[in-house]
Each structure stands twice: as structure tokens, then as C-alpha cells.
Amino acid sequence: MKDKITTILLAIFLIIINLNCFTIIKAEELPMQQLKVLGIGNSFTVDATTYLRDIATCGGVDLTVGTLQIGGSTLEMHWNNTQTNEDTYTYTKNDSSLAKYYPKKDIKSVVLSEDWDFIVLQQVSYLSGDYESYQPYLNNLVDFIRDLKPTAEILLQQTWAYDVGSSHYEFYRYDNNQATMYNALKDAYSQASNEIKARIIPSGNAVQNARSYKVFDCTNGGKSLTRDSYHMSNTHGRILVASTWYEILTGKSIFENTYTNIAVTNEELLIIKQAVHNAVVEYTDYKIININIKKLPNKINYSIGEDVISEGGIITINYNNGQSCDEEITDKMITYNLNSSGETTVEINYSGATTNYTVKVNSAKGCSGNSTNSIMIFIIVLAFLKLITKN
């Protein structure tokens, strides 16, 4: 009887050890970066922010998104409303809970309601190419907001040109020509940016970049990025513009973002990301200086031929403007060769910046290898056979 109990306990012990060899240690969760942005504008602001929180969440950022808008509103209208404290705005706040809608809000109370990191302004689309329509209202608005929230960074959303053949009743201002409108608004926003010393969110540039690809060239059978020849389409267009905001506000590459949408194919999403990233690179003077490893992946010991597991690893991305952010290492970032035993390096590539770490490669399979697994199962089987024969 004593031998039977001993044998049973031995079998259980071996099972526990065997299972323990395959226990995966859960990666330490990376604290999400927390940011808050308020867009003050009109329906184009709504287009830009509809998917913004979802995309940010997929990039590891807890982004509170506020949208304060009146349809068709101009910079002049916003400035006049600050002077009369008009509560004619619709305010939407999208944070960790469900989006909340508040009618009859005014600019001052909403600006003061949160510790906004960013406040984004824009001109109405049809006047975006006419810099004279910006002033003095833009300067006045900026002074007003900076007095209320001196710590918030003010940015400008560069709006986009209408589709070729657009039905918008104000398109005549640009001779009904998309290229003319785009060049005019691009120049006007650059002038405004220099005047108020604010960064541009190049939504218009990103849209124009995407239109250069066949899939989004609606004049030659491609999809239009708009739903009515001027507002962004409900999926592709809105995702593109929100992705542009994401890159500018977070400093993170949209290529590393995991957001997907059932209505957008992988090919389309890749083009959107390329269009966005190229626009942001053109409009920013910051670049990645280097990346360093903040935390090694959980697993650094391997057997020949195994796949490297990036889980648990964290890198710090350093920019030339002094900013930095942390990013989880993903399998797509790493390259390696585990075809021989000894120490070898695993290279990490993030948007062209590289670093590496060392792993140990054993000639025989380790605890997680198939050979050890087979041996353990064999021992367990023998233990049970011994128990049976004793009976």
C-alpha cells in the first residue's frame, strides 16, 4: 500500500513538473499612455475624430477625444461665439466609457472642463484656401484659448480638397478644380501655422496622397474617400484622417498600430497607412534618433530551430525633439537566425531604427522542447505501469 501511494505521488509530481515547463508567464502589461484632445470645428472635425479613440487604443494610448462643433462653422463664427458665450455647440466626449453627447455647450466651459493636452482648430473647408478669411479670428481664438489653457498645445487640422467634379456649392471659388483647391489650402494652412506657431495635422495631404493610388482614384474607377464628394467616407476616409491625427498627437507610427476594420481590406489599410505616414513625415521635423530595450522579452533561451517569442519585451523610442514613448515588441519587428547553438542576436527594427539583444541557443531541446516532453511522458507511463503491475 505504501509503495502504491508513493508511486501515485511520484506520478502526480512528474505531471505537475511537466505542466509547469509549459506554463507561459503573462507579459507585464504596458501602462497605456494617457492623452486628451479637443477638436473645435464642424463636420470635418467629426470626420477626423470618429475612429480616433479606437485607433489610439489599438496603439496603446488611452485617448480622451472631445469634439465641439457647429455644422459649417468658420473661424470667424467661433471667435464671435466666444465673445457672446453662445451655447450653440454640440459637444461629444469619447473616453473610457461610452461616448457622451451634450447639446447647447459653449467654447469656454468645454475648454475649461478637462486638462486638454491638445486643442485642434480649423477653417471651414470652402474658405481653407483663402488665408484672409482666417484673420484676425484665428489669432484672437488662439489668444483666448491660451489664456484659458496655457498648457494645452494648439494645432491646426489641414482640411482636404473636394473630389474631382464635386457638387459642393462653394467649389467655384477654386474653379471647380481639386488641385487648385488643394494647393491653395496647403499654402493657407502653412501661413497660419507660421503665424500662430502651431503644428499642422496634415489631413489634406494624407487624403491627396491616398488619391494617388489606383484603389482610391475615383476618377479612374477607384473608391472615393468621400461620401458626398466633400465629407470623408464613413470608413476609409474617416480612418485615414483619424490615423493622421493619431501619428501627430502620439508620435507613434501608424504602421505599428493593430487597428482593423471589417469594411477595409488589408491592401487598402496598408495604402492608408502609407499615405498617412508620408504626409506626417513631410509635415514634421522630428525623427526617431534611436530605440533602446526597456525590458527584454520573457524568453531568451531557445533550442535550435525554434521561433523567437517577442512577448513581454518593451522598447523605448527616442525622437530628436526630446520626446520618447514606450512600445511593446512585436514579432513583426524582429529578425533572427537560430540555426546553430551558442549565443546569437535578435534584431529589432522599428520604422528603420534598430537595436538588438542576445539569446542563448542550445543544441538540445530545453524544457519546452519536444524531446523533454517525450521523456517526461515516458517516465509517467512507466510509473503508472508499475502501479498496475503491483495490483
The predicted model gives 260-270 an average pLDDT of: 96
pLDDT digits (tens, 9 = 90+) for 233-261: 999 999 999 999 999 999 999 999 999 99
Residue 71 sits in the same domain as residue 118: yes
The predicted model gives 158-165 an average pLDDT of: 98
Task: Compare 330 and 47 and report the one with higher pLDDT.
Answer: 47
Residue 216 sits in the same domain as residue 344: no
Q: What confidence tier does 16 reach under pLDDT thresholds 50, 70, 90?
A: very low
Residue 224 sits in the same domain as residue 261: yes
The answer to whether residue 26 sits within a structural domain is: no
Residue 230 sits in the same domain as residue 325: no
Is the entire prediction scored with pTM above 0.75?
A: no
Q: What confidence tier does 154 reach under pLDDT thresholds 50, 70, 90?
A: very high
Residue 244 sits in the same domain as residue 343: no
What pLDDT score was predicted for residue 4?
57
Task: Compare 321 and 53 and report the one with higher pLDDT.
Answer: 53
The answer to whether residue 27 sits within a structural domain is: no
Task: Compare 51 and 363 and report the one with higher pLDDT.
Answer: 51
Residue 64 sits in the same domain as residue 191: yes
Residue 73 sits in the same domain as residue 181: yes
CA-nearest of 283, 276, 238, 271 to 54 is 238
Q: Out of 3-7, 87-91, 195-199, 210-214, which region has the weakest mean confidence (pLDDT)?
A: 3-7
Residue 275 sits in the same domain as residue 351: no
Residue 278 sits in the same domain as residue 311: no
What pLDDT score was predicted for residue 75?
98
Residue 322 sits in the same domain as residue 180: no
The answer to whether residue 45 sits within a structural domain is: yes
In the chain, where does DSSP find H-type helix?
2-21, 43-49, 52-58, 75-84, 107-113, 137-148, 178-196, 203-211, 236-250, 266-283, 370-390
Share of the chain above pLDDT 70, in %: 83
What pLDDT score was predicted for residue 36?
97
Number of domains in the chain: 3
The domain of 379 spans 2-21+369-390
Residue 249 sits in the same domain as residue 329: no
Q: Which grid coordinates belong to 263?
A: 469594411
Q: Please report, in angstroms and rounded to a whole number, the separation of the first and last CA atoms in the chain.
A: 10
Residue 305 sits in the same domain as residue 199: no
The predicted model gives 80-87 an average pLDDT of: 96
- Mean pLDDT over all residues of the chain? 88
Q: Out of 21-25, 36-40, 237-241, 309-313, which region has the weakest mean confidence (pLDDT)?
A: 21-25
